[in-house]
Amino acid sequence: MEAVGFIPSSQHLVQTNKTVTWASPSNIALVKYWGKYDPQIPANPSISFTLNHCNTKTSVTLVDQSMLSDTSTGAFSFEFSFEGAPKPDFHPKIASFFARVFDYLPFLKTYHLVINSENTFPHSSGIASSASAMAALSLCLLELSDEFPPNDQNVFSEAFYAKASFLARLGSGSAARSISGPLMQWGKTPGFKASQDLVAVPFNKVLAPIFKNFQDTILLVDKGEKVVSSTVGHGLMKDHPFAKARFQQAHDQLALLTEALVSGDMETFISVVESEALTLHAMMLTSSPYFILMKPGTLSIIEKIWNFRKNTALPVCFTLDAGANVHLLYPEMHKVQVLQFIENELVAYCQNGQYICDQVGSGSISHTVQP
Ligand code: DP6
């Protein structure tokens, strides 16, 4: 698949003053994307669980430039509100996203967009919202383009979701994986023929029953701004002394994890997932300049999880994204015991005692009100 394949062959009819709405979930990578090339091509393959409750809901209204004030230049423009208030801080990231997607959504160039967005998870929780936000925005734009209209039952085609993932990737790499669920794979890898660098694709094998409704409890260790953004961190992999070995390791770990996801081999699942989390942070510790996103509470929680696993033999493990928060992953059948463990031993390390209970979900949902 080539990027040019996503340029529409003809201009589609668009309906002005139409509002579309999508809710897209966040996702948590099990094999991590860390390192990329232009334009948003991953240096290694990744796979993630799509979450269920942590969502961004976005509405976009298409306004014809002729409806705007006399001062309008007629060129593309947008206004953006987050949770009911204008959010100029988000403008640069959204503007650079639009610059990247114009070729693939040419209808945009003559419109004004009114974008309203909200998150279901606490605003400053340290949970990256760029994945869910860029996924929801991409789905809205693609629905407005009318390039792939839904069928009579309002079901969108595979081609619609593939292009949405392609667009979302151009906003934020991990957003490519927030389109569908429950497991999404992104980045070409020899063991999986359908894998692609330009779009994320659903994991096409039958998941072992133990992963059904798999739980992710996010322990909010630090809710502050990250000292180094993911985008800068990806850039530091360019001249990283361990880059080549790391990129190869991601292919190898993905192959191992794929087998474990099918067989239900929890030992392998746990060792790959925890190794991926620690390798991600090891890359940060050994970048030039080096940096640390974990906090003391992150390490204390990891130690407690290891002790709990040893003492109870329950298959719980952790992963980390590019931050200090810890994602505790475990099968649904152990929910009661694990939540008790969190309350007894882990809450003390969470900022204001906060954590979020989520689980694996099935992907983005349209909330567009049909006429
Ligand atoms: C550590 O997708 O946030 O969460 O493409 O620059 O927007 P950009 O980066 P982003 O990176 C996510 C990195 C990660 C691992 C992962 O989700 O695979």
Chain segment 159-178, per-residue pLDDT in tens: 999 999 999 999 999 999 99
- Do residues 170 and 100 make contact, with C-beta atoms less than 8 angstroms apart? yes
Q: What is the CA(36)–ligand 1 centre distance, in A?
A: 10
pLDDT tens sequence across 182-218: 999 999 999 899 999 999 999 999 999 999 999 999 9
Most confident of the ranges 97-111, 214-228, 264-278: 264-278
Task: Give the strand pairing for 183-186 and 200-202.
Answer: antiparallel
Task: Report the topology of domain 209-359.
Answer: Alpha-Beta Plaits (3.30.70)
pLDDT reported for residue 369: 85
Q: Give me the pLDDT at residue 13, please.
A: 65
Q: How far apart are CA 258 and CA 269, in angstroms?
A: 9
Reply yes or no on whether the pLDDT at 12 is more than 80: no
Q: Where are the domains of the chain?
A: 15-206, 209-359
Mean pLDDT across the chain:
93
Residue 268 scores a pLDDT above 90: yes
What DSSP letter does each residue of 154-171 carry, written as one string?
-PPPHHHHHHHHHHHHHH
Q: Provide the token pair at 74.
A: 């007629």
CA dihedral 198, 183, 35, 3 (to 10 degrees): 0
Q: Report the distance separating Cα 187 and Cα 173, nearest Å.
A: 10
Q: Is 173 in the pocket of ligand 1 (CB under 6 A)?
A: yes
> In the numeric block, which tokens belong to residue 268?
């392998």
* CB 32 near ligand 1, within 6 Å: yes
**Ligand 1, closest atom to CA 171?**
7
Residue 230 CA to ligand 1 centre (angstroms): 6
For the stretch 14-55, pLDDT in tens is: 777 889 999 999 999 999 999 999 999 999 999 999 999 999
Architecture of domain 15-206: 2-Layer Sandwich (3.30)
Asked if the model's pLDDT at residue 74 lies above 80, the reply is no
Distance between Cα 252 and ligand 1 center (Å): 20
